[in-house]
Amino acid sequence: MHFRTTVALLSFFVLSCQRGDYREVKDYTIEQFMNTEAIGGASFSHDEKLILYSSKKTGIYNAYTVPVEGGEPTQLTDSKTNSIFAVSFFPKDNRILYRSDQGGNEIHHIYLRNEDGSTKDLTPGEKARSLFYGWSHDQKSFFYGSNKRNPKFMDVYEMDIETFKPRMIYQNDEGIDLASISDDKRYFALTKTITTNNNEMYLYDNQTKKLTHLSKHEGDVTYSPAMFSTDSKNLYYLTDEGSEFTYLKRYDIASGASEKIEDAPWDISFADLSWNGKYRVVGVNNDAKTEIKVYDQASGQRIDLPKLPAADITAVNISRSEKLMTFYVNGSRSPNNLHVYNFETKQYKPLTSTMNPEIGKDDLVDAQVVRFKSFDGVEIPSIYYKPHHIKPGEKTPALVWVHGGPGGQTRTGYSPLIQYLVNHGYVVLGVNNRGSSGYGKTFFKMDDLKHGNEDLADCIEAKKFLASTGVVDTNKIGIIGGSYGGYMVCAALAFRPDEFAVGVDIFGVTNWVRTLKSIPPWWEAFREALYKELGDPFKQEDFLRAKSPLFHGDKIKKPMIVLQGANDPRVLKVESDEMVEAIRKNGVPVEYVVFPDEGHGFVKRENEIKGYRAILDFLEKYLKGKTQA
C-alpha cells in the first residue's frame, strides 16, 4: 500500500499534538469570515501590464484587473445578480471574455466586454450552454464548445474575433469530449468516457478528417490528453495504464510511439506547456496538497519556485513572453492570494491581500493529514482540524465532513466554513472515504455500486479516530457534507440512525432514481459512466431505492438541517422538499433553508452568510447539548 504510517503512530502523533497547545482565541462571526475576499483565475493582458481575475469582493463574482507591478485592483464588471467569471484578455488588446449563467442554472454563455465597458453575448440561446476551450495560436480566434445543435453533446466551434462569427469545426455525435487542439489547428485530442475508471483517447486529423483510436487497451485505464507540443508533432497525455497513479507520457504522431516523461508516487493531476514551449508545468496531487513543478523544457532542469511557509502554490499561468508567471498561494489558514513571479530576476510579489484583517491568522487552525483503518482494514486518509481553545481534559463536539463527488477529495486548502466551525469549538474531520480521488485507482473504484454501504461505514469508523484524540465528546458527533456528501449525511441518518447526533445536508442527493433520470442533458456523454458506478435507474430501480434516503425517511430520528438551491440542475429542489417532509412526519426537528437565486452550490456571499450562520445556530442548538433529540 502507498500509505506507510500506521494508525497507532498517527494516533500517537495527533494525541501528542494535543498536549500543551491550548490557547484562547477570538470568536469571529460568519460575516467576518465571509468578508475574506474569494478570488480566482489569472490572465495577462497583451502588453503584460495587467492581470485579469475574478473576485467576490462585491458579494458576487465580478471581473477585476490588477497591475503586474502591484497596486489597487480595478473592477471591470458590476453584476448584482449573476456571477461573472473572467476568462481571458484578448491577445492583442484589452477586451476581455467572461462567462456567466442565470441564477446558477449552469447554462453558461461567453460574453465580450469591450474596452469602453459595453458587452455582448457571443453565444446566445436560452438553452445553449457554451464553454471556452482556448485561443488559437495565431491569436485570430478562440475555440469553444456548445450544445446549441444537440442539447446532449458539445460541438466544437471556432470564433473569429474580428467578425465574431462562429464556425463548427467538429460535430460531436458520439459523446466525445475535446481535450486539446494543436497550435497548427490540424489535430484535436479527444476522449470518450466508458466508466468513471475507464475511457478512450482519440486523435482527430482535421486535414484528412480521420479519427485514430490511440488507447486500445484491456481493463480499466484512464487517459487524459494534456497538450500538444508547440510544433504539433507530439501529444502529451496523462494515464494510469499499468500504474495505480496517473503519470505523463508523450505520443509521437508520426511514428505512433509513446514514452513516459514523468511520474510520481501520487497522481499527476495536470500538465501544460508555456506559449512557446519554453517551460513545462506539472501539478501533483500530493496527499491532499497541490505540488507544482516547473521545468525548463530544453534542459529538463526544474525551476526553483518560491518557498512559502504553511501554504501551497496551487495554480500557475505563464505569460506569452515567458518572462512572467502568475501563481496562487493557498493554505488551510490562508485563502487564495494572487502572486506574480519574474523568471529573469527570480523575484515574486503578492498582488492581493484577501484575508479580512479583522481575523487573526493565529486564531485559525492548520489542517493535519491523518489516517485511520476502517472496518475491513482499508486505510482512510483524512484531514483533521482541532480548535485551539479546547482546555486540557475538556471534551468538545465534532463533525465528520464528507466531500462531494462521489469521487471528490477533501484537501488541505482554506475553507471559511470549516474554519468558522472550528473557531466556534467544533473538531472537524474531513474523511476521504473509499471512492475518493487522489489515492490510486484501486481505492477510487472501491465504492462503485456500494454507495451508502462501505463508504458510509468509513465515515462511521471515523468516530473511532475522533474518540482516539481524547478531545471529542463521542456522544456529540455529527455529520456534514454537500452534494454527494449531503447524500452521505442523509444516508447516515436513515440507514445508521443511531450513529450520528445530527446531520447537515448541503445540496445533497436523496433520491438516486430521480437524480440519475434527470441529470442535465449536457451530461449525456457521462450518463452511462454514472449508471455503471451508481446504478441504472431504468434497470435497477429497486437497487437505487434501497440506497436512497428519501424512501427510508421514516427511520430518521436525529435532527437535520437541509440547505438547497432553488435553481439546482443536478439535485432538484423537489428532492430536498420531499426529504424534509418525510423527516417532519417523524416529528423529528428539521430545518430547511432554500436559496431562490442559487444552483448547485453557493456563489453569492449573502447566501453563504445566511446558510453558514443557520448551520452554526443549528449545531449550537442540537449538538452542543442545549437540545438533544
Does the global pTM surpass 0.75?
Answer: yes
Model confidence band, residue 310 (pLDDT cutoffs 50, 70, 90): confident
Per-residue model confidence as pLDDT tens digits over 481-513: 999 999 999 999 999 999 999 999 999 999 999
Per-residue model confidence as pLDDT tens digits over 192-214: 999 999 999 999 999 999 999 99
Look at residue 308 in the predicted model and tell me its pLDDT.
82
Look at residue 307 in the predicted model and tell me its pLDDT.
85
Q: Which of 38, 46, 45 is nearest to 83 (CA)?
A: 38
Judge whether 513 and 578 are in contact, CB under 8 Å: no
Model confidence band, residue 3 (pLDDT cutoffs 50, 70, 90): very low
Q: Is pLDDT at 18 greater than 50 in this prediction?
A: no
Look at residue 309 in the predicted model and tell me its pLDDT.
77
Q: Which set of grid coordinates corresponds to residue 205? A: 486529423
Judge whether 478 and 457 are in contact, CB under 8 Å: no
Report, in this order, helix, strand and coil percent for the chain, each rounded to 5: 20, 35, 45
Strands 109-113, 334-342: pairing kind = unpaired
Judge whether 586 and 629 are in contact, CB under 8 Å: no
> Rounded to 10 degrees, what is the CA torsion of 189, 192, 193, 198?
-70
Q: What average pLDDT does range 172-185 have in this prediction?
A: 95
Strands 130-135, 141-146: pairing kind = antiparallel
What type of residue is 69? E
Q: What average pLDDT does range 567-592 have in this prediction?
A: 95
Q: What average pLDDT does range 569-589 have in this prediction?
A: 95
Phi, psi of 70 (to 5 degrees): 100, 160
H or E segment to which residue 107 belongs: none
Q: Which of 168, 204, 99, 178 is nearest to 525 (CA)?
A: 178
Judge whether 495 and 487 are in contact, CB under 8 Å: no
Look at residue 11 in the predicted model and tell me its pLDDT.
40
The tally of CA atoms less than 13 A away on the side-chain side of residue 377 is 1
Look at residue 429 in the predicted model and tell me its pLDDT.
98
Q: Is pLDDT at 343 greater than 80 in this prediction?
A: yes
Using CA atoms, how far apart are residues 609 and 6, in angstroms rounded to an integer?
40
CA 609 to chain centre: 21
Helix (H, G, I), strand (E, B) or coil at 193: strand
Class of domain 7-31+359-511+548-622: alpha beta
Look at residue 306 in the predicted model and tell me its pLDDT.
87
Judge whether 322 and 337 are in contact, CB under 8 Å: no
Per-residue model confidence as pLDDT tens digits over 344-365: 999 999 999 999 999 999 999 9
Q: Is pLDDT at 177 greater than 70 in this prediction?
A: yes
Look at residue 626 in the predicted model and tell me its pLDDT.
61
Instruction: Out of 11-20, 30-39, 598-607, pick the least confident.
Output: 11-20
Q: Is pLDDT at 320 greater than 90 in this prediction?
A: yes
Per-residue model confidence as pLDDT tens digits over 126-169: 999 999 999 999 999 999 999 999 999 999 999 999 999 999 99
Q: Which of 400, 408, 499, 385 is nearest to 459 (CA)?
A: 400
pLDDT above 70 covers a percentage of the chain that reads 96
Helix (H, G, I), strand (E, B) or coil at 605: helix
H or E segment to which residue 4 belongs: none
Q: What is the rounded end-to-end Cα distance, in angstroms, of the chain?
A: 42
Using CA atoms, how far apart are residues 176 and 292, in angstroms rounded to an integer?
29
Strands 560-565, 503-506: pairing kind = parallel
Using CA atoms, how far apart are residues 522 and 130, in angstroms rounded to an integer?
10
Using CA atoms, how far apart are residues 341 and 315, in angstroms rounded to an integer?
12
Peptide bond into 406 cis (omega under 30): yes
Q: Is pLDDT at 297 greater than 50 in this prediction?
A: yes
Q: Which of 406, 449, 409, 401 is nearest to 429 (CA)?
A: 401
Q: Which of 335, 343, 341 is nearest to 359 (CA)?
A: 335
More confidently predicted of 240 and 18: 240
Q: What average pLDDT does range 38-64 have in this prediction?
A: 97
How confident is the prediction for the chain on average, in pLDDT? 94
Phi, psi of 294 (to 5 degrees): -120, 130
Q: Is pLDDT at 611 greater than 80 in this prediction?
A: yes
pLDDT above 90 covers a percentage of the chain that reads 92
Look at residue 214 in the predicted model and tell me its pLDDT.
97
- Is the Cα dihedral 618, 619, 622, 624 positive or negative? negative
**Count H helices, E strands: the chain?**
11, 35
Q: Is pLDDT at 6 greater than 50 in this prediction?
A: no
Please report how the helices 416-423 and 605-622 are oriented relative to each other, as an axis angle in degrees rounded to 10: 30
| DSSP string computed for 325-390 | EEEEEEETTEEEEEEEEETTT--EEE----S-TTS-GGGS---EEEEEE-TTS-EEEEEEE--TTP
Q: Is pLDDT at 12 greater than 70 in this prediction?
A: no
Please give the CATH architecture assigned to the domain spanning 264-354.
Answer: Beta Barrel (2.40)
Q: Which of 20, 18, 66, 71 is nearest to 45 (CA)?
A: 66
Judge whether 488 and 456 are in contact, CB under 8 Å: yes
Q: Is pLDDT at 244 greater than 50 in this prediction?
A: yes
Q: Is pLDDT at 424 greater than 70 in this prediction?
A: yes
Sequence spans of domains, the chain: 7-31+359-511+548-622, 264-354
Using CA atoms, how far apart are residues 202 and 54, in angstroms rounded to an integer?
34
Using CA atoms, how far apart are residues 329 and 40, in angstroms rounded to an integer?
11
CA 12 to chain centre: 32
Look at residue 5 in the predicted model and tell me its pLDDT.
34
Strands 223-228, 590-595: pairing kind = unpaired
Q: Locate cell 494510469: which residue?
A: 240
H or E segment to which residue 201 belongs: strand 198-205
